[in-house]
Amino acid sequence: MPLLSTVGYYEPWYVQILKALVVFGVGFSLVPLALLYERKLLGRFQNRPGPNRVGPFGTLQPAADILKLLGKEQFRPTNAIGWLFILSPLVAMVCALATFMLIPFSGAPQDILGTPVGLYGLDSDIGLLIVFAFASVGSYGVLLGGWSSASKYSFLGAMRAAAQLISYEIAQGLALLGVIISAGTLSLTEIVDEQSALWFVIPQLVGAITFFIATLAEINRTPFDLLEADSELVAGFMTEYGGGRFALYYVAEYVHLIVAGGLFTTLFLGGWHLPFVDQPGWLDPFVVLAKTIVVVTFIVWIRATLPKLRYDQLMTFGWKVLLPIATVNALVTAVVVVAW
């Protein structure tokens, strides 16, 4: 029986266990940085200094936020479906971190203390599919969290999550078809290597824009932050969450933000490749991080600028605008690739 999928480079098992911990650690420690970065940046956009009380220049603000949440009482509504209520934030966060695992920070294995280590969690030849799979499972965290809270606000938030999910996800997938056809692979490292000459953002500009917009919907950022919709649904699906469980959703949200940046970097901005420069391998992760920061900055900028859509408008936009554009983009790419 043929293998369903193969894995690129992989290390001995003990290195893999270590690596899993490291990826988890890196993912987790990027969260407070992203949190602080977003709040500082938003502050500057809005004529205010942003957090600057806790620690030097407010650097300990995220730690204070998260520790405060963790120190709070773990409560749940009387009518909540207990185990689902507890499980949902975990699902949301685990899935967010799992997608982070697939983002490659360098192509060739780097030599760390004599052991060649690939700077990614997993280099599967169906990497992109796994990303999508985890992203879809991750929305169960939102759906079930809203459903199990037994609150009307949470319920409406969960309903919106379902509506939003079906609206953006197909467009998001189709937008990537162009990249996949051009690269001829689903492996994220190989997609990056295909971009050594020309970043996909140039030939795949339409796909990049479509994917970026759909990603905003996926990670619930403005103008598509309808699940939380703090003005109408209080906090949407997480209205009834507090303390540590809320912190999990909160962390998941920022992991999503980083993953969105990393994924866009990987798929469209050439990953660790720089134009005209062939930097040493140990610089690769920093190049990826720098590009991720650019994307994250852009997302925060959008948040500071735009109002949010209504959820029926998002659905209309997803089905009537994004989906046709993504489809045409995929078709044109396919024709061009075959005819070339």
Partner 1 sequence: MTDEPTARPAHREHDAPAAGTDVRERGADIADRDDRIGGPSAPAGAATATAEAPASVVPGGYRAHEASIDFSSQLGTVATQDEAELLTINMGPHHPATHGVLRLLTTLEGEVVRDVKPIVGYLHTGIEKTCEDKAYWKAIPLVERMDYLAYYFNAMAYCGAVEDLLECEVPKRAQYLRVIHLELNRIMSHLVWLGTTALDIGAMSILWYSFRERETILDLFEYSSGQRMHTRYFQIGGVAEDIPGGWEQSLRRFVREMPKRLDQYSAMLTRNEIFLSRMKHTGVAPAATLQAKGVTGPLLRAAGVPWDLRKAMPYSSYDDFDFQVPVGTEGDNYDRYLVRMAEMRESVRIIEQAIDGLPEGPWITTDRKVALPPRHELATSMEALIHHFKLVTEGMRVPAGEAYHAIEGPRGELGCFVRSDGSSKPARVHMRDSSFINLQALEDMCRGGYIADMIATLACLDPLLGGIDR
Q: Which residues bind partner 1 (CB under 8 A)?
A: 42, 45-48, 152-153, 155-156, 159-160, 222-223, 225, 229-232, 234, 303-313
Q: Which is nearer to partner 1, 39 or 63 (CB)?
A: 39
Q: Which is nearer to partner 1, 153 or 272 (CB)?
A: 153
Q: How far is the CB of 163 from partner 1 (least distance, A)?
A: 9
Q: Which is nearer to partner 1, 6 or 316 (CB)?
A: 316
Q: How far is the CB of 231 from partner 1 (least distance, A)?
A: 4
As a whole number of angstroms, the distance between CA 292 and CA 271 comes to: 9
As a whole number of angstroms, the distance between CA 200 and CA 204 comes to: 5
Q: How far is the CB of 305 from partner 1 (least distance, A)?
A: 7
Q: Which is nearer to partner 1, 29 or 47 (CB)?
A: 47
The one-character DSSP state at 119 is S
Residues written for the chain:
340
Q: Which is nearer to partner 1, 131 or 226 (CB)?
A: 226
The Cα-based distances of 151 to 18, 155, 158, 238, 240 in angstroms read 41, 6, 10, 10, 7
| Closest-CA residue to 39 (of 63, 3, 12) | 63
Q: How far is the CB of 41 from partner 1 (least distance, A)?
A: 12
Q: How far is the CB of 253 from partner 1 (least distance, A)?
A: 16
Q: How far is the CB of 229 from partner 1 (least distance, A)?
A: 7
* Encoded amino acid at 139, one letter: S
Q: Which is nearer to partner 1, 115 or 305 (CB)?
A: 305
Q: Which is nearer to partner 1, 167 or 187 (CB)?
A: 167
Count other Cβ atoms within 10 Å, centred on residue 281: 14
- Ramachandran area for residue 221 (φ above 0: left; ψ -120 to 50: alpha; else beta): beta
Cis-peptide into 104, omega within 30 deg: no
Q: How far is the CB of 303 from partner 1 (least distance, A)?
A: 8
Q: Which is nearer to partner 1, 156 or 289 (CB)?
A: 156
The Cα-based distances of 336 to 105, 193, 296, 302, 333 in angstroms read 30, 20, 32, 33, 5
- Ramachandran area for residue 12 (φ above 0: left; ψ -120 to 50: alpha; else beta): beta
| Residue whose pair of structure tokens reads 């988890």 in the numeric block | 24
H or E, element range at 115: strand 115-117
